[in-house]
């Protein structure tokens, strides 16, 4: 929303306050809404838990308290994996999670969060804002009674924490591995035994040996969950999730009942957090990685080239299957994603990739 619009709204709002003084208190109270936000995260988990609280606070503040958002962490009101259904059914008005958790609803949803060998955080936002992605996002979630927004991104995720070194593709076969979204399908094609679970459950599974390896987010969030205590080999690059978008979804009826200015508040709160959340992740990931290596004896390792190549071939199969889906909307979303990926990827060869490769040669001057 432009600054002039905010100023105009503010002047009008002062007039409304003066007029309200002549009415009974209940008339003012009727313009206030209390929303429950349910999240997929432990309260204030570095990264997504912090971002969820920021979003709740920002909607409350920008609305002048006309929408008061109370956050409920995973398990407080509903389980973390139940927030989609809770908001769709009206048990809560709004949730904070990631699209990668909702593949059982539709495979097409997964593309809005991350794609193996797919879009970076800035490109993901670009696809939605300028490549037709938001209309498709709205159409898909509208089928479930939800209005969706992206509201943050973790940046590039890591390949994960491994109890043992990975030296070849053969080392992946039968490996018990935690991941989510389309990355799980890519890994399954390589013979990995993929499991989906929350971060705290992943720690316990690594500790007990129920998992051999797993990925969650990146150094900042992963440090808080203590994965380095039970698996010292930290692998990159996380080609399964070159970025991972965080989302807010609002119950469609609750959203449609808002006046236009409050609809704009919700959208602006989400939009304004995207870069803030993304750059906080990137900065604190970098700081946390230094500490993990210096203080926790974490071994940072690159996946072997043959493993990356095999993952790329598996990812191509996953996207190919989505392009041939029985669901017309999933096919439409996939084609839109592929077209934008190829467009922006071709340009980035000369732009950001060129700059990053050049900078890498002179780090430390």
Task: Check the annotation: does 123 bind a ligand.
Answer: no
Q: How many CB atoms lie under 10 A from the CB of residue 40?
A: 24
- Please state, in angstroms and rounded to a whole number, the distance separating the CA atoms of residues 82 and 92: 11
363 confidence band (pLDDT: 50, 70, 90)? confident
Task: Check the annotation: does 216 bind a ligand.
Answer: yes
pLDDT, tens digit (0-9, with 9 covering 90-100), for 169-209 = 999 999 999 999 999 999 999 999 999 999 999 999 999 99
> Domain limits of the chain?
34-153+243-283, 160-242+298-363
Q: What does the pLDDT read at residue 29? A: 53
Query: Above 80 in pLDDT, residue 212?
Result: yes
Which listed CATH number (3.30.565.10, 3.90.650.10, 3.30.70.260, 3.40.190.10) goes with 160-242+298-363? 3.40.190.10
Q: What does the pLDDT read at residue 287? A: 98
274 confidence band (pLDDT: 50, 70, 90)? very high
**Half-sphere exposure at residue 335, Cβ-oriented, CA atoms within 13 angstroms:** 9
- Is 34-153+243-283's fold the same as 160-242+298-363's? yes
CATH H-level, domain 34-153+243-283: superfamily: Bacterial extracellular solute-binding protein, family 7 (3.40.190.170)
Region of poorest pLDDT, from 24-33, 161-170, 241-250 = 24-33
Q: What does the pLDDT read at residue 30? A: 67
Query: Above 50 in pLDDT, residue 71?
Result: yes
CB 233 within 8 A of CB 163: yes
Calculate the average pLDDT of the chain: 92
Percent with pLDDT over 90 in the chain: 91
- Please state, in angstroms and rounded to a whole number, the distance separating the CA atoms of residues 205 and 216: 13
Cα angle: 119, vertex 179, 249; to 5 degrees: 60
Percent with pLDDT over 70 in the chain: 92
Closest listed residue to residue 67, CA positions, set 332, 275, 264 = 264
Give, to the nearest 10 degrees, the angle between helix 133-142 and helix 328-348.
150
In this prediction the pTM is 0.89
Closest listed residue to residue 237, CA positions, set 302, 307, 331 = 302
CB 240 within 8 A of CB 215: yes
């Amino acid at each position: 929303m432009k600054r002039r619009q905010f100023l105009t709204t503010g002047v009008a709002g002062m007039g409304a306050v003066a007029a309200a003084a002549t009415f009974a208190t209940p008339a003012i109270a009727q313009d206030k809404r209390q929303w429950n936000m349910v999240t997929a995260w432990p309260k204030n988990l570095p990264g997504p838990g912090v971002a969820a609280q920021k979003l709740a606070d920002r909607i409350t503040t920008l609305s002048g308290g006309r929408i008061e958002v109370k956050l409920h962490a995973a398990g407080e009101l509903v389980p973390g994996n139940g927030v989609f259904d809770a908001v769709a059914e009206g048990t809560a008005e709004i949730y904070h999670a990631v699209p990668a958790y909702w593949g059982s609803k539709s495979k097409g949803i997964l593309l809005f969060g991350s794609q193996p060998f797919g879009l970076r955080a800035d490109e993901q936002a670009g696809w939605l804002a300028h490549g037709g992605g938001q209309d498709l996002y709205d159409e898909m979630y509208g089928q479930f009674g939800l209005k969706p927004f992206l509201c943050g991104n973790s940046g590039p995720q890591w390949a994960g924490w491994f109890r043992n070194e990975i030296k070849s593709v053969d080392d992946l076969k039968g490996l018990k591995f935690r991941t989510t979204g389309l990355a799980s399908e890519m890994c399954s094609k390589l013979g990995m035994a993929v499991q989906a679970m929350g971060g705290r459950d992943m720690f316990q599974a690594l500790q007990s040996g129920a998992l051999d390896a797993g990925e969650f987010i990146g150094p900042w969030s992963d440090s808080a969950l203590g994965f380095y205590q039970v698996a010292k080999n930290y692998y990159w690059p996380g080609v399964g999730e070159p970025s991972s978008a965080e989302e807010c979804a609002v119950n469609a009826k609750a959203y449609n009942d808002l006046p236009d200015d409050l609809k704009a508040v919700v959208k602006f709160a989400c939009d304004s957090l995207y870069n803030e959340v993304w750059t906080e992740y990137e900065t604190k990931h970098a700081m946390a990685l230094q500490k993990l290596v210096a203080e926790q004896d974490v071994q940072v390792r690159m996946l072997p080239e043959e493993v990356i190549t095999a993952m790329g071939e598996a990812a191509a199969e996953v996207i190919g299957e989505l392009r041939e889906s029985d669901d017309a909307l999933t096919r439409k979303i996939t084609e839109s994603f592929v077209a934008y990926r190829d467009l922006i990827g071709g340009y980035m060869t000369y732009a950001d990739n060129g700059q990053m490769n050049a900078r890498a040669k002179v780090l430390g001057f």
